[in-house]
């Protein structure tokens, strides 16, 4: 049982909780996710199963799409509705104000990472500094916002957005910065990941589906948009031994298969001009 499993994560579970549950249901220890969702968040959580773990990094780098709700007028330590309230502020915002501000965020964006996150600084996770009330310089990440639009009118200081963003974007941070630019404070009060790369929420399974056996793993070859080459007999032994080979295939990155089974992913080594193994599946 090797491949990619698409989960529609429910709220009030950590991504690790989902992984542990799937490990139990599929009777394997080799399960990993490809991008953490906060416990309050729902939606697309892509899991690698057994050999599918080898391509986790290929999936982590994909763009993501979200639906989120923003509640203006309050600020919390976690930047979401579950945190401790630090301050409140008056809200005087129109739909037109929101649209103008949202449009200003499209493009490259220097985002300050939330202090309550698992990014490590000097070997310690940021949330550990926060819980211990220790000072730490919070990193700035350059990310990209491809699409950002309001999907509801503002009512009772709340409105909803849809966004498409690059890897590493924290929607909590985006919400904080949107709120600040609106002249107030705000938190993320709902979050639903609707897409990661080409993986859509409509194709995801619930944990109940997995429990009932109502699911299908995606084939590793089908997940990766890479050329597929049948290994010539002349280099078969070199490939299965993970050796570098001459680049006679005119691709920078591709899948080697034999008898319709994936054997390896090879990529161009720009220093030597040779092809080298990126992932082996045997």
Encode burial over 103-113: b for 16+ CB neighbours within 10 A, e otherwise. eebeeebebeb
Establish whether 156 is a catalytic residue: no
Q: Which of 2, 17, 38, 200 is catalytic?
A: 38
Structure tokens at 67: 């639906």
Structure tokens at 252: 């920078």
Structure tokens at 137: 């310089």
Element (H, E) at 144: strand 140-150
Alpha helices in 27-85 (DSSP H): 56-60
Contact 154, 101 (CB under 8 A): no
Distance CA 154, CA 175 (A): 14
Q: State the SS3 of 198-232.
A: CEEHHHCECHHHHHCCCCCCECHHHHCCCCEEECC
Encode burial over 119-140: b for 16+ CB neighbours within 10 A, e otherwise. eeeeeeebeebbeeeeeeeeee
Strand 120-121 vs strand 85-88: parallel, antiparallel, or unpaired?
Answer: unpaired
* Residue 245 DSSP one-character state: B
Alpha helices in 27-111 (DSSP H): 56-60, 95-104
- The contacts of residue 175 (CB under 8 Å, 6+ apart) are 68, 70, 79, 186, 187, 188
Positions annotated as catalytic residues are 38
């Amino acid at each position: 049982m090797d491949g990619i499993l698409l989960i529609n994560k429910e709220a009030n579970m950590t991504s690790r909780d989902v992984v542990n549950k799937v490990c139990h249901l599929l009777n394997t220890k080799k399960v990993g996710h490809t991008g953490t969702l906060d416990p309050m968040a729902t939606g697309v959580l892509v899991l690698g199963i057994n050999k599918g773990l080898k391509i986790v990094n290929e999936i982590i780098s994909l763009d993501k799409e979200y639906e989120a709700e923003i509640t203006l007028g309050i600020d919390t330590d976690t930047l979401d509705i579950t945190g401790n309230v630090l301050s409140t502020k008056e809200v005087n915002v129109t739909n037109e104000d929101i649209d103008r501000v949202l449009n200003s965020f499209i493009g490259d964006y220097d985002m300050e990472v939330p202090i309550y996150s698992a990014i490590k600084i000097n070997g310690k996770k940021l949330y550990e500094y926060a819980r211990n009330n220790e000072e730490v310089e919070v990193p700035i990440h350059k990310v990209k916002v491809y699409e950002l639009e309001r999907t509801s009118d503002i009512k009772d200081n709340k409105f909803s957005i849809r966004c498409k963003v690059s890897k590493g974007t924290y929607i909590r941070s985006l919400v904080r910065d949107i709120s600040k630019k609106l002249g107030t404070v705000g938190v993320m009060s709902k979050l639903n990941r609707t897409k990661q790369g080409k993986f859509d929420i409509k194709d995801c399974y619930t944990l109940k589906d997995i429990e009932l056996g109502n699911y299908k793993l995606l084939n590793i070859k089908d997940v990766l948009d890479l050329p597929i080459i049948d290994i010539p007999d002349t280099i078969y032994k070199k490939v299965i031994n993970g050796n570098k080979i001459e680049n006679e295939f005119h691709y920078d990155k591709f899948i080697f298969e034999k008898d319709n089974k994936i054997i390896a992913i090879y990529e161009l080594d720009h220093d030597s001009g040779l092809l080298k193994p990126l992932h082996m599946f045997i």
